């Protein structure tokens, strides 16, 4: 499942889904707010149900909106009830480094049979621990890792090696994608999935030399048709 679309925009999701090139969608409160979702949890529910129905059976990740353990568990179970293909996103720890989140992950996966995407991680060691807790997906923010001054490819490769070494089934998602180049290099490094924004996915498809070539083909075709019409006149 190599490419997930990182958006809450229904039109963009539908466009790329029709092409057959995405295998899931990821969201978070920031993305949904940017894409015009209002009304709090009711708005998130309405948009999530629309997206989940559109892309089924591919997964949709929806993030809990609270650091409180009890409320996060309640939200997670509610989100999962909206559609069979919804995955619940939980950050690796709380806003001040609180450690309860991995307890939430473990409980959701082992007691409630809810798939979890552990997010906001910046290192192989964080992702490894989330995998041990039972997370279905472990999300590393590759672009932010690069911004910190070291290459995310090294962290991805180390993580993939230890997951395989210990037989852990978690899928590696790498997000915070900054450049078209990131997609292939992160997949090559060992990521199972890379998340991309719609504009970046467009950039993967459209190449300036491809545009130039297509334009040349069409000019030559038009010239050939004109010559045929002229010779048959």
- Return the active site residues: 89
CATH 3.10.560.10 fits 3-196, yes or no: no
The gap between the terminal CA atoms of the chain, to the nearest Å, is 55
For the stretch 106-146, pLDDT in tens is 999 999 999 999 999 999 999 999 999 999 999 999 999 99
User: Quick one: 63 exposed, middle or buried, by C-beta within 10 A (0-12, 13-18, 19+)?
Assistant: buried
Average pLDDT rounded to a whole number, residues 171-176: 97
Model-wide pTM > 0.85: yes
Confidence of residue 33 (pLDDT cuts 50, 70, 90): confident
The mean pLDDT value of the chain amounts to 95
Q: What string of DSSP letters covers 98-142?
A: -STHHHHHHHHHHHS---EEEEEE-SHHHHHHHHHTT-SEEEEEH
User: Is residue 208 within 8 Å of 229, Cβ to Cβ?
Assistant: no
Share of the chain above pLDDT 90, in %: 88
What's the rounded Cα separation, in Å, for the pair 159 and 172? 8
């Amino acid at each position: 499942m190599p490419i997930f679309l990182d958006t809450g925009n229904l039109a963009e999701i539908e466009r790329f889904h029709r092409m057959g090139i995405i295998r899931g969608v990821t969201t978070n409160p920031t993305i949904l707010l940017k894409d015009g979702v209002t009304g709090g949890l009711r708005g998130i529910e309405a948009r999530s149900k629309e997206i989940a129905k559109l892309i089924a059976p591919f997964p949709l990740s929806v993030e809990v909106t609270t650091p409180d353990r009890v409320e996060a568990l309640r939200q997670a179970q509610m989100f999962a009830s909206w559609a069979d293909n919804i995955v619940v996103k939980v950050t690796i720890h709380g806003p001040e480094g609180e450690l309860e989140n991995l307890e939430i992950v473990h409980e959701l996966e082992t007691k409630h049979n809810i798939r979890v995407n552990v997010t906001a991680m910046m290192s192989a060691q964080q992702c490894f621990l989330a995998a041990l807790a039972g997370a279905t997906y472990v999300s590393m923010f590759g672009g932010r890792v690069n911004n910190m001054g070291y290459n995310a490819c090294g962290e991805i490769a180390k993580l993939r090696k230890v997951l395989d070494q210990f037989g852990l089934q978690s899928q590696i998602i790498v997000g915070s994608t900054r450049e078209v180049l990131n997609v292939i290099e992160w997949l090559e490094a060992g990521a199972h999935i890379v998340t991309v924004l719609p504009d970046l996915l467009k950039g993967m498809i459209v190449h300036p030399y491809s545009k130039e070539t297509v334009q040349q083909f069409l000019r030559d075709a038009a010239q050939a048709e004109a010559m045929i019409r002229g010779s048959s006149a």
